[in-house]
Amino acid sequence: MLVRSHLKSLLWAVHFNTSLDKLFDQTNDASYYSYWMNDGSLILSVRKISKKALEFVVRVHGYDLYHDRSSSGLVLFQQLNCRMAKNILPISLNGKKYLSDFQPAFASKIHTSYLGVPDRGINPSSTDPATDLVIVSCSFMHALKRIHLIVETLMLLDNKVTWIHLGGGPEMPHIQALCEKLPANITYQLPGDLSNTDIIDFYLQNHVDLFIHMSETEGIPVAIMEATSFGIPVLATDVGGVGELVTEQTGILVSADITPAAVAQEIKRFMSSHMHTADFSISVRNYWNNNFNAEKNYNDFIDTYLQ
């Protein structure tokens, strides 16, 4: 099965290169960039075999990087892509270390290049300190996101909490069933699939006290970047590159194997800590601006790797 997958991808890459030949009229006067180290970068690797002057850069994220996330246990053509690319750009320091350890022969051209999100504004302050604690999560409802841990945590809280999950997916029926068991002090909303515009509008119009993310595996989540861009503190599991987003300046980083009881204790501590203040929200937003602002990061990327 693995051999068949290799052959299928390789044949597709050869076929696609025929179209590129027509488009660029046999010249090398083009800049090439693959956003993922998958079929796109394989096309460019195959192209470079016959056009040695060609240069390309490739980003690498999660499923296209970590072998244990591949259904076959192996990211196809990773070594070939690393050999052929001019620069390989993991989106996290964690990813850079993983790839450099796995492909040490190419470590000198592996460089971290953070993604980013635009500045869309600031989350509004709470106008009534007596209101419920508002906790938001945002992700596709996949089992890997472990949204059930959030619900199980809420069951252990005795203060009034409103929890809102932004996003739908196959786990929705399971999460809905769990939510029916929540105690009376917990209010929840599951609006389902939303556009990114809807999500941004939500953050602009609704105060959020805490963003929570319990995923068991990640690259470096855009959902957390967006929350921090609005100045929202974060509680998240230490997986993939999450620890590069969630620091003492932005929130609470917890172990990937944390229990609901331990998460509940972290939320209780958060409520009476310096993190639950307007000053800390400024700290959160400043950290995003210094590290994950799209305008800065993408301009740096273009200047460094595409010019």
| Model confidence pLDDT, tens digit, residues 71-117 | 777 888 999 999 999 999 999 999 999 999 999 999 999 999 999 99
Cα–Cα dist 211/250, whole Å: 11
Are 216 and 256 a contacting pair, CB within 8 Å? yes
Give pLDDT tens digits for 172-195. Answer: 999 999 999 999 999 999 999 999
Give pLDDT tens digits for 274-304. Answer: 999 999 999 999 999 999 999 999 999 999 9
- In 3-state terms, the chain is what percent helix, strand and coil (to 5)? 45, 15, 40
Would 9-113 and 133-290 be classified into the same CATH topology? yes
Q: Would you list the domain boundaries of the chain?
A: 9-113, 133-290
Counting every residue, how long is the chain? 307
Phi-psi region of 283 (alpha: psi -120 to 50; beta: other; left: phi over 0): alpha
Domain at 133-290, CATH class: alpha beta
- Please tell me the predicted confidence (pLDDT) of residue 94: 94
Mean predicted confidence (pLDDT) in 155-175: 97
Are 215 and 265 a contacting pair, CB within 8 Å? no
Query: Which superfamily is assigned to 9-113 in CATH?
Result: Glycogen Phosphorylase B; (3.40.50.2000)
Cα–Cα dist 155/149, whole Å: 10
**φ, ψ (nearest 5 deg) of residue 137:** -130, 155
Burial code of 117-128, b = ≥16 C-beta within 10 A, e = fewer?
A: beeeeebeebee
The C-alpha angle 289, 295, 301, rounded to 5 degrees, equals: 110
Burial classification of residue 247, based on how many CB atoms lie within 10 Å of its CB (0-12 exposed, 13-18 middle, 19 or more buried): middle
Cα–Cα dist 80/33, whole Å: 16
